Structure 1
Amino acid sequence: MDEEPTESLWVRIKGSAGAGDIIAGVCYRPSDQGDQADEALYRQIGAASCSQALVLMGDFNHPDICWRDNAAERKQSRKLLECVDDNFLFQVIEEPTRRGAVLDLVLTNKEGLVGDVKLKVSLGCSDHEMVEFKILRAVRRARSKLTTLDFRRADFGLFRDLLGRILWDKALEGRGAQDS
C-alpha cells in the first residue's frame, strides 16, 4: 500500500559528544486534508517521537482546538489531540498565531527543551504571526535521579500474553478485593 504524501520535512540535528541528537520536523497540514493524509502524518509523528529529543513545528490548521482544555469540536481536531497525547508531546504556543486561533504549533517530547517562545510580526505577506523560540540543549545534560519508565518502547503484546498465562482464579483465591 502506498503511503499518503504529507507536507513535512524531518531533519536530525547532530549533537556533540554527550549532547545527543535532536529530531526537528516542520509540517504544513492543509485545512482540507483528508483522514488518510492525517493518519500518515500521525504515523510520522509517532515514529519521530521515539527519539530522545523532538521539536515539531508547523501550521496544523485546527482552529477549533482549545489547548488549555485539551478539547476540540471537530473529529479531525480530536484526532490530532489524541496523537499529541499518545506520543507524550507538549504544545508550547500559548497565544493565537492567526486571526485569534492557535494554528501554528511547536510540539516537543521533552519539557524544557523549547524555551523563550515569542510571537513576532508576520513575515512578508503572511497572515500568520512569526514564532521565535530557542532549543535549549542544556536540558539534555541534566540527569534525573528518578527512574522513569518509557511506555513508548513497551512490548504490550508480550505483556498481554504474559498476563493471559496467569490462572487468575487460582492466584486470587481466598483474597478480598483489597488484597487482590
Structure 2
Amino acid sequence: MIAIGDRLPAATFKVKTDAGTSEMTTDDVFAGKKVVLFAVPGAFTPTCSMNHLPGYLENAEAIKAKGVDTIAVVSVNDHYVMGAWAAATKAGDKILFLADGAAKFTTAAGLDLDLSGGGLGVRSKRYAMIVEDGVVKSLDIEENPGQATVSGAAAVIEKL
C-alpha cells in the first residue's frame, strides 16, 4: 500500500467536462501542485453524498486558502457517473471529479477494497491525502468505509 513519502502511481483518469470527456494523467493532476485528494467507495452512495463530499464543498475556499491548488475526488466509477455526481452536487470548479473506472490507480496504490458482498465489486477505500508534486505528504484511511472522519475536510484542514 502507498505510504507517506511515496510517489503516486502513474495512471490515467477520465473526466467529464462540458465539452465531453477528457483524460488526465497523474502528472496532469499532481505535477508541480499541492493537491488534496479524497476517495470515496462510490458516487451517490449515502456517506459519500451526505457527509464526505459536502464537507469538501463547504470548505473548498478554506482549503485553497492554505495553499492547495486543487481539491480532487476519485472513485471507482465511470466518468458519466462522476460527471452526473458533480452536476447533482453543484460542485462547479470547486472539486475535480476523477473517474478511475477500472480501478487501475486505486489498485496500483493498494487502496482497493472488495465490496463484492454488497454488490459493488472492487472499489476504493475511503481516504484523504495531501499530495505535493506527486508525492504523498499525508494519508488518512478510514477504518470503516461508512464513516468520513479522518478523511473528512475538517481533518484535512488541520493537517494543512
TM-score, normalised via structure 1 length: 0.29
Larger relative helix fraction: 2
Higher relative contact order (CA 8 A, sep 6+): 2
TM-score, normalised via structure 2 length: 0.31
